[in-house]
Homo-oligomer: A and B are copies of this chain.
Amino acid sequence: MDFFFAPRGVAVIGATPNPLKGGNAILKNLLSGYRGGIYPVNPRYPQIDGLRCYPSVSAVPDPLDLAIIFIPAPLVTSSVEACAARGVAGVMIESSGFAETGPEGAKYQSELRKMAVGKRIRIWGPNCMGLVDVKHDRIFSFMDPRARQREWIPGDVSLVVQSGLLSATFLFDIMSHGLMGVSKVCSVGNKVDVNECDLLEYFIGDPDTRVIGFYLESFADGRRFLEIRRRCTKPIVVLKGGKTRKGAEAALSHTASLAGNHRIIAGALAQSGIIEVRDFRQMTDVCRTLAMMDPPDAPGGRVSVLTFSGGAGIVSTDFIEENGLRLADLSEETRTALRGLYPAWMPVAHPIDLWPAMESHIGKNVDVCGLALEAVLADPGVDAVFLHTFTGNAHIRLDPADLARPVRASGKPIVVWQTGRRDESFSFQQQALRCGIPVFAEIGRAAECLAAVLRGRYRPEPIPAPGVPCGPLPPTIPDLSAFGPGPLDEYVSKALLRACGVPTVPEALITRVEQVEAAAAGLGYPVVMKGLLPGTVHKTESGLVRLGITDGSAALSSFTALMAQMEERGKVLLQKQVSGKVELILGMVRDPQFGPCVMFGLGGIMAELYDDAVFAVAPLNHREALELIGRLRGQKMLNGFRGAEAVNRNEIARILVALGEIGLSHTRIVEIDINPLLVGPEGAAAVDATIVLK
A-side interface residues toward B, CB under 8 Å? 20, 96-97, 100-102, 104-105, 144, 146-147, 149, 151, 161-166, 169-170, 172-173, 176-178, 215, 217, 239, 241-243, 278-282, 308-312, 314-315, 317-319, 321, 345-347, 355-356, 362-363, 390, 392-394, 419-423, 425-426, 441-444, 541, 605-606, 608-610, 612, 633-634, 636-637, 641-643
Report which of B100, B356, B443 forms a contact with A280, defined as CB distance below 8 A: B443
- Find out whether the CB atom of A241 lies under 8 angstroms from the CB atom of B318: yes
Report which of B241, B309, B394, B609 forms a contact with A636, defined as CB distance below 8 A: B609
Report which of B165, B355, B442, B643 forms a contact with A390, defined as CB distance below 8 A: B165
- Find out whether the CB atom of B101 lies under 8 angstroms from the CB atom of A172: no
Chain B residue with Cβ nearest A421: B176
A144-B315 contact in complex given A173-B419, A642-B605, C-beta closer than 8 Å: no
Most buried by B among A217, A243, A315: A315
Report which of B149, B345, B605 forms a contact with A637, defined as CB distance below 8 A: B605
- Find out whether the CB atom of A102 lies under 8 angstroms from the CB atom of B390: no
Instruction: Give, as a whole number of angstroms, the nearest-CB distance from A18 to chain B.
Output: 10
Instruction: Give, as a whole number of angstroms, the nearest-CB distance from A399 to chain B.
Output: 19
Most buried by B among A169, A312, A422, A610: A169
Chain B residues lying within 8 Å of A163, measured Cβ to Cβ, are 309-312
Report which of B165, B419, B637 forms a contact with A355, defined as CB distance below 8 A: B165
- Find out whether the CB atom of B243 lies under 8 angstroms from the CB atom of A166: no
Between A and B, 19 residue pairs with Cβ closer than 8 Å are A96-B356, A101-B346, A102-B345, A144-B393, A147-B392, A149-B421, A163-B309, A164-B309, A165-B308, A165-B355, A165-B390, A166-B312, A170-B419, A278-B318, A279-B319, A280-B443, A281-B441, A608-B642, A609-B636
Chain B residues lying within 8 Å of A97, measured Cβ to Cβ, are 345
Bound CA–CA A347/B280 (angstroms): 26
A217-B101 contact in complex given A169-B420, A442-B281, C-beta closer than 8 Å: no
Chain B residues lying within 8 Å of A104, measured Cβ to Cβ, are 345
- Find out whether the CB atom of A314 lies under 8 angstroms from the CB atom of B278: no
Report which of B162, B239, B609 forms a contact with A606, defined as CB distance below 8 A: B609
Bound CA–CA A443/B164 (angstroms): 18
Report which of B169, B217, B363, B441 forms a contact with A419, defined as CB distance below 8 A: B169
Bound CA–CA A278/B314 (angstroms): 11
Q: A105-B345, A278-B315, A609-B641 are in contact. List 16 more A-B contacts (CB 8 A).
A: A101-B345, A146-B394, A163-B310, A164-B310, A169-B393, A173-B425, A177-B422, A215-B311, A278-B318, A278-B319, A279-B443, A280-B315, A281-B441, A422-B426, A605-B642, A606-B609
- Find out whether the CB atom of A315 lies under 8 angstroms from the CB atom of B442: no
Bound CA–CA A641/B605 (angstroms): 9
Chain B residue with Cβ nearest A177: B422
Top 6 closest pairs, chain A to chain B, by CB:
A163-B311, A241-B314, A173-B419, A166-B309, A176-B421, A176-B422
Bound CA–CA A573/B139 (angstroms): 83
A279-B345 contact in complex given A176-B422, A605-B641, A606-B609, C-beta closer than 8 Å: no
Bound CA–CA A170/B390 (angstroms): 9
Chain B residue with Cβ nearest A279: B444
Report which of B176, B311, B392 forms a contact with A162, defined as CB distance below 8 A: B311
Chain B residues lying within 8 Å of A169, measured Cβ to Cβ, are 308-309, 390, 393, 419-420
Chain B residues lying within 8 Å of A173, measured Cβ to Cβ, are 419-421, 425
Instruction: Give, as a whole number of angstroms, the nearest-CB distance from A466 to chain B.
Output: 31
Chain B residues lying within 8 Å of A311, measured Cβ to Cβ, are 161-163, 166, 215, 217, 241
Chain B residue with Cβ nearest A165: B309
Report which of B162, B442, B610 forms a contact with A282, defined as CB distance below 8 A: B442
Chain B residue with Cβ nearest A170: B419
Instruction: Give, as a whole number of angstroms, the nearest-CB distance from A415 to chain B.
Output: 14
A243-B318 contact in complex given A355-B165, A392-B172, C-beta closer than 8 Å: yes
Chain B residue with Cβ nearest A105: B345
Chain B residues lying within 8 Å of A164, measured Cβ to Cβ, are 309-310
Instruction: Give, as a whole number of angstroms, the nearest-CB distance from A422 to chain B.
Output: 4
Instruction: Give, as a whole number of angstroms, the nearest-CB distance from A396 to chain B.
Output: 9
- Find out whether the CB atom of A239 lies under 8 angstroms from the CB atom of B634: no
Chain B residue with Cβ nearest A392: B172
- Find out whether the CB atom of A314 lies under 8 angstroms from the CB atom of B217: yes
- Find out whether the CB atom of B241 lies under 8 angstroms from the CB atom of A315: yes
- Find out whether the CB atom of B172 lies under 8 angstroms from the CB atom of A420: yes
Bound CA–CA A195/B17 (angstroms): 69
Bound CA–CA A443/B280 (angstroms): 8
Report which of B105, B315, B321, B637 forms a contact with A279, defined as CB distance below 8 A: B315
Report which of B242, B363, B419, B637 forms a contact with A318, defined as CB distance below 8 A: B242
Most buried by B among A241, A444, A633: A241
Chain B residues lying within 8 Å of A149, measured Cβ to Cβ, are 421
Bound CA–CA A105/B346 (angstroms): 10
Chain B residues lying within 8 Å of A442, measured Cβ to Cβ, are 279-282
Bound CA–CA A671/B643 (angstroms): 24
Report which of B101, B420, B423, B425 forms a contact with A347, defined as CB distance below 8 A: B101
- Find out whether the CB atom of B280 lies under 8 angstroms from the CB atom of A394: no
Instruction: Give, as a whole number of angstroms, the nearest-CB distance from A449 to chain B.
Output: 14
Chain B residues lying within 8 Å of A309, measured Cβ to Cβ, are 163-166, 169
Chain B residue with Cβ nearest A609: B634
Bound CA–CA A657/B55 (angstroms): 84
